[in-house]
Amino acid sequence: MGSGASREKEQIGPTGIKDVHLSHALTEKYMGLSQHGKVQAEYVWIDSDYWDGHSFDLCCKTLTLPDAPISLDDIPIWTYSGDDAKDIVIVPRRTYRDPFRGGDNVLVLADTYEEPSGDEQDHGKATKFNARAACQAAMQQAEEIGEDPWFGFEQEYYLIDPKTKWPLGWPAGRYPDKDTAFYCSVGSTKVVAREIIEAHYRACLYAGVMIGGINSEVAPAQWEFQVGPASGTQGADDLWMARYILQRLCEEYKVGVTFDPKPVPKQAGIGCHTNYSNMATRSSPGGMEAIKKQCERLRQAHDKHISNYGIGNERRLTGKHDTAAMSDFSWGIGDRAASIRMGCKVAMRDCGYYEDRRPAANMDPYLVSQLLVETTLLRKESLN
């Protein structure tokens, strides 16, 4: 009886792990010690295809470097143990300042490859879950034909109570007042956990992520941050690093975070709207005409895009809550219920970007970026 009662008091998390509280003050005692010139490099990579649609299978491990790296060449290619006892090669692609350790320590975004064989030197072919390699190849092709695609991402997410698995701050199983406006709201009765959002914003700025801004969304504990605009793969790289930083922060605050496209029934879903432009759309006169022609290409490839725009997206793209139905494709100026939206200022200036509103919050930005470039710029058919 006594041991059973004791176990009931234990806080067991959603994965069966006991909730453990450690002393941050004690940790700071050691984090202030000298590193004697050495640098900690935290490698971050995607370990697999999405495993549950709610979050991402991001992994990390740390290597000690003899001194601060000047370029990627100073950061070694490394490995980790994959399935079937095979090593997976992780190749550094971009570095960021480490907001968790500070100093000269770095975060290293890497992608994954098979072990080298035959004449291969550093690594073999890209793993099946490495979407960055194909995305980079598409960006290089675009560059070779004189294009410079830019991307900006609007990442929505929910903070989750790990005990109730319900949005943070919501009474278990209950919904907030629908008559109260929460979008971009202020005040203790409307805003949940702004401390985490502010910490994430500052950590991204420190790291060197091209974070453009933040805002609360249409429900308490629902937030958004923006990344970009950035050229080529940098936008996708920075979004992945921003996601990693957010999950690390939530780990410290002992709060859950979900990117599930529809984490709460009867509420609006969450997406990752993707803003996209290229040389033709940014040129005036003629930018709007280029956008319209590119939209027709996107219409023809709609099914292919949708199949790569996130797990569970059919629960979000219903034609309600400012979304187009999943089976439909539409575009419009200032139309938030369209698949593709152009801003009114873009139409007035006859140049700029357009917003693909179809991607879900859990989409892979490498896949989305690659498909947009391939469909609009690399197809052999003429846009005329």
- Domain ranges across the chain: 35-130, 143-378
Who's near 289: CB < 8 A, 6+ residues apart?
none
Who's near 25: CB < 8 A, 6+ residues apart?
none
Q: What's the pTM?
A: 0.91
What angle in degrees, to the nearest 10, is found between the helix axes of 194-207 and 234-253?
140
Of 60, 119, 110, the residue nearest 251 (C-alpha): 60
Cis ω for the linkage preceding 229 (within 30 of 0)? yes
Model confidence at 260: pLDDT above 70: yes
What's the pLDDT score for residue 61?
95
Model confidence at 33: pLDDT above 50: yes
**Range of weakest confidence among 3-12, 26-35, 218-227:** 3-12
- 35-130 belongs to which CATH class? alpha beta
Of 260, 46, 240, 247, the residue nearest 153 (C-alpha): 240
- What are the C-alpha distances in Å from 276 to residues 173, 273, 341, 353, 373? 38, 10, 11, 5, 9
Strand ranges inside 4-69, DSSP E? 39-46, 58-65
| Cβ pair 353, 340 in contact under 8 A | no
Model confidence at 101: pLDDT above 90: yes
Tokens of 166: 């319900």
- What are the C-alpha distances in Å from 209 to residues 21, 25, 108? 30, 28, 12
Average pLDDT over residues 90-105: 96
What's the pLDDT score for residue 186?
83
Average pLDDT of the chain is 88
Q: Do the domains at 35-130 and 143-378 have one common CATH topology?
A: no
Model confidence at 47: pLDDT above 50: yes
Model confidence at 1: pLDDT above 60: no
If one counts every other C-beta atom within 10 angstroms of the C-beta of residue 192, the result is: 24
What's the pLDDT score for residue 63?
97
Q: Is the CATH code 3.30.70.1450 the one for domain 143-378?
A: no
